[in-house]
């Protein structure tokens, strides 16, 4: 394995593990912060029960549920938008991560949706996303690295080399995150759309 290939493999693995690590780290920090508050309640339970850790975990998870429920309200959404603009959007990569997670969850909030596509690169069809369209018909294309959609390469390609695929965003991401398993469904969707377009032209 070449040095460049080894580095790319390392970066891909790091991008997969980093969100998991940060989530666990924040969870442990939050549990430590509330441990003192739940200690009197934990002392009421038998010593063989890891009550302090268990109650701390339940408390943190409960707060997460409450915050998640609050963000579904109008006031919660307004507060979330203010926090995004004032702080979170300044964090590198946050806007991309938020956009991806919202689209995987099927929540676009009227924003730009990354259109799944198959693009022609050399002699291959490559799963990708259309980021924007030029006035002259060209596309800005993002080709994610496998198995994470958070890193990849950007291309500017002519319309003839870009085949839009009408499949859910989540389905396209799933195929990429599973090392291409499910890509045949993307190809089948592209071929159906191409056949329909040829039939329409013939009429």
pLDDT of residue 10: 66
Statement: residue 72 has pLDDT above 70:
yes
pLDDT of residue 156: 94
Q: Chain-centre distance of CA 103, in angstroms? A: 7
Q: Which long-range contacts (CB under 8 A, 24 or more apart) does 32-37 make?
A: 32/56, 34/59, 34/60
Sorting pLDDT into bands at 50, 70 and 90, what band is 52?
Answer: confident
* CA separation, residue 58 to residues 3, 63, 66, 71, 186 (Å): 45, 9, 12, 20, 41
Residue 147 DSSP symbol: S
Statement: residue 27 has pLDDT above 70:
yes
pLDDT of residue 140: 93
Statement: residue 128 has pLDDT above 60:
yes
What percentage of the chain exceeds 70 in pLDDT?
Answer: 68
Q: Chain-centre distance of CA 47, in angstroms? A: 42
Q: What is the mean pLDDT of the chain?
A: 76
DSSP alpha helices (H): ranges in 43-113?
51-70, 74-86, 94-104
pLDDT of residue 149: 67
Is the preceding omega at residue 18 within 30 degrees of 0, hence cis?
Answer: no
Is the CATH code 3.40.50.720 the one for domain 115-202?
A: no
Statement: residue 54 has pLDDT above 80:
yes
81-111 tens-digit pLDDT: 676 666 555 555 555 556 665 555 555 554 4
Domain ranges of the chain: 3-104, 115-202
* 16: Cβ contacts below 8 Å, ≥ 6 apart: 147, 148
pLDDT of residue 21: 76
Dist. CA 175–CA 84, nearest whole Å = 30
Dist. CA 24–CA 32, nearest whole Å = 12
How many C-beta atoms lie closer than 10 Å to residue 118's C-beta? 22
Statement: residue 120 has pLDDT above 80:
yes
Tokens of 18: 């980093």
Statement: residue 119 has pLDDT above 90:
yes
User: CA angle at residue 127 from 124 to 128, to 5 degrees?
Assistant: 120
């Amino acid at each position: 394995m070449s040095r460049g290939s080894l580095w790319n493999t390392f970066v891909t693995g790091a991008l997969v593990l980093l969100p998991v690590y940060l989530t666990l780290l924040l969870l442990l920090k939050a549990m430590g912060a509330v441990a003192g508050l739940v200690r009197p309640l934990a002392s009421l339970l038998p010593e063989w029960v890891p009550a302090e850790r268990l109650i701390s975990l339940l408390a943190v998870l409960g707060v997460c549920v409450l915050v998640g429920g609050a963000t579904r309200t109008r006031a919660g959404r307004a507060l979330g938008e203010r926090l995004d603009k004032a702080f979170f959007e300044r964090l590198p990569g946050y806007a991309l991560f938020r956009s991806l997670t919202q689209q995987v969850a099927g929540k676009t909030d009227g924003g730009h949706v990354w259109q799944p596509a198959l693009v022609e690169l050399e002699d291959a069809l490559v799963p990708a996303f259309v980021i924007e369209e030029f006035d002259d018909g060209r596309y800005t294309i993002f080709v994610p690295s496998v198995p994470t959609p958070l890193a990849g390469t950007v291309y500017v390609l002519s319309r003839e080399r870009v085949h839009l695929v009408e499949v859910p965003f989540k389905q396209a991401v799933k195929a990429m995150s599973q090392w291409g398993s499910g890509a045949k469904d993307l190809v089948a969707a592209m071929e159906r759309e191409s056949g329909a377009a040829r039939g329409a032209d013939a009429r």
